[in-house]
Chain A
Amino acid sequence: MNNIGINFSQIFAANCEDLTISDRWSGERRIVTRHTLLRYHDVGRMGVIDYTKGAKQIDVKTMSKADKVNIIASQNGEFEARFGIGFEVEKNRIPNKFATPLIAGYESDSSCGEEAVTNIIPLVGKGTLRNKVNNMMFEAREVIEDRYSPSNYSCGGHITLSCKGLSGEELFNAVKPFMGVVYALFRKRLLNTYCNRNARLESNYDNSRYCTVLQKSNVIEIRLVSKFETTKQLMRRYELMYELLNFAVNNPNGKFSSFIKRVKPIISRMYGGDQAKVKEIVSLSKSFNKYITNGVISDNIAEYVS
C-alpha cells in the first residue's frame, strides 16, 4: 500500500526533462524549461501537467462523504478529481522564476509584464489531497506574493475550470446561476475592457476573448478575477471555485441563498472576519445574480455595469 500518496514534486520532476517547442517562425525545435521566460502562449505549447489523476487512497481517505462524490475511482486503485482548476498569475515582474510543481511555466504578457501559468490542479474538498494542493501554492509563494513579485492593476488572475463529463458550454451554463458571488467579489474588474464582455453570460455569445467568463471546448475561463497578491488569496479563491463547481454541478436546482450560505465562511476569511464587508458582498451578490439572470440593474451595482 502507498503510504505517501500522490507526490506532485515527483510528477513535476518527471515532466521537466527534455522540453522543446517548435519556433513559430522557423519551425525549428528549441529547448525550453519550466523556469525561464517564454513568449506569450508558449507555456501551453510546452505542455502543462495534469495533476487531476493519480491520487491514492491515503489522499482521499480524510475527505468528507459529500466531497467524495467529486472523486472518481479508477480500476487501478487510483483516484481522479472530477474538477480541475488552473490559474494565470499575472505580475509586472517575477524576479525569481524557479521550477516548482504548481507552475507549468512563465511567459511574457503584453498587458502587464510577465505571468506564471499553473499546471492543471485537482479541485477537491478539504482533506489530505487539498493540503497537498495548498502546499504547492505555499512552495510557489515567491511567485504568487506581491512582496516578491510585484503586480499592479493592469494584472489579472484568470481562473480556468473543468469538470469531467461536461463540455465548456455545459459547465458555463451550470455555473451561471451562481456567478453573482464572483461578480460581487471582483466587481471593479467589470469596468475593465479586457474582461467585461458578455457580462450577462449568454451562452451563445460570439467568442470574444475579453469576456467575463470565456467558454472554451472543455473548460471555462473566469477572466473577471483580480490579480493574486498573496498565497492565502489563491487558496481562498481555490476554495470558492470548489464550492462553485460542487454546488453548480451537484445541486443544479439549488437556491442561490443556499450557495451563499455555503461560501459565506470563505468570504469572511477573505475579508479577515469583517462581517460588515461580508454583508455587503452578500447583498451585492444577490443584485449581480438578478442582473445576470434578468438584466435588472439594482442601485448598488449600477456603477459597475453598463
Chain B
Amino acid sequence: MSNIVTTTGVLPIEANFLTRTDVRSNARLNEIHECSEDLRTSEGVKYSISLRMAAHLTKSNEWFKSDSAKELMAEEGIQWSKKEFVEKSTGISYTWFCKLVKAAKWDEVIRDAYRRYNEEHNGTLSIEGLNKFASSVNLEELLAASGDEGLEDAIIEAVLLEEESEVAESNSIETVFTISFKCESGNVAARIDEHGNLITTNSDAQILDAIAFLRSKLS
C-alpha cells in the first residue's frame, strides 16, 4: 500500500496557507517533501530516509500542536484535525505518519541496536520492524542492569530472549480452534487448545452470541 495519499482535496485557501514561508519552515514541509521525493526515487536506503523524515514530521507535529500554529490557522480561517494537517500538508497517509512519529521517539541506542541486530540476522530494516523491536525493550531496566557501555548488547539479548519465549509459548501447546467476534458490547475471543481446554475471558452467553452470528452467515 502506498504511503502517499492524494492531496486533491486541498482547498485554494489551504493551498495558499501552505505556501506561506513561515508555515513551510515551521512545519518542515520542504524537508518532508524532499524526503518523500527521495523515498520515491532511492533504492535500498529507504529506511534511513524514513528516519530522517520521521524527525522532520515530529517537529512538524510539535509545531501543529503549538498555540502559535493554532492562532495562525484561526487567523487564516482554517481548522484542521491532525490527520487533515498531515495528509493535506505532506501528502503522507496518517497511518504511516503515526508509525514514523513513533519510530522517531525511540532512543538512538535502540535504533543502533536494531540496525546491528538486522545485520547479524540478515534482516531487512524497516520502520515497522524498528517499532516492533523497540516495543519489547525496557530501556530503563536494561540501563540499570548493564550500564551505558553494555547497553546495546543488552538490548539485543533482551529482544532475542523475548523472541525465544514467544516461540516457546506458541510451540508449547497447539491451538485447534479460535473464534473472535467484535460486537457492540465488546470483543469476544475464545480458543480451544489441543487438550480440549477452552481459554477465554468471556462468558458462555457472549460466546454463544458469537456462534449465533457465525451460524447466521452460513448458507
Contact = CB atoms under 8 A, between A and B. Distances in A.
A93 interface: no
Question: Number of contact residues on A: which range applies?
Answer: 10 to 19
B161 interface: no
Contacts of A132: 11
A232 B84 contact: no
Interface in A58-116: 62
A249 to B, nearest CB: 22
A135 B17 CA distance: 11
Interface of B: 9, 11-14, 16, 74-81, 84
Given A62-B84, A131-B14, A269-B74, A4 B79 contact: no
Interface string A198-232: 00000000000000000000000000000000001
Contacts of B14: 131, 135
A134 B78 contact: yes
A138 B84 CA distance: 19
Contact of A135 (B12, B74, B75): B12
A131 to B, nearest CB: 6
A139 interface: yes
A277 interface: no
Contacts of A3: 9
B77 A137 contact: yes
B100 to A, nearest CB: 23
Contacts of A137: 77
A4 B9 contact: yes
10 contacts: A62-B81, A126-B79, A131-B14, A131-B79, A135-B14, A138-B13, A138-B77, A232-B76, A235-B77, A269-B74
A265 B70 CA distance: 12
Given A138-B77, A235-B77, 18 more contacts: A4-B9, A62-B79, A62-B84, A126-B79, A131-B11, A131-B13, A131-B77, A131-B78, A131-B80, A132-B11, A134-B13, A134-B78, A135-B12, A138-B13, A138-B16, A139-B12, A265-B74, A269-B75
Contacts, number: 41
Contacts of A265: 74
Judged by DSSP, the binding face of A is helix
A134 B14 CA distance: 10
Contacts of A62: 79, 81, 84
A232 B84 CA distance: 22
Contacts of B9: 3-4
Contacts of B75: 232, 269
A56 interface: no
A47 interface: no
Q: Which of B76, B79, B81 has the most CB of A within 10 A?
A: B79
Nearest to A125: B79
A150 interface: no
A139 B14 CA distance: 11
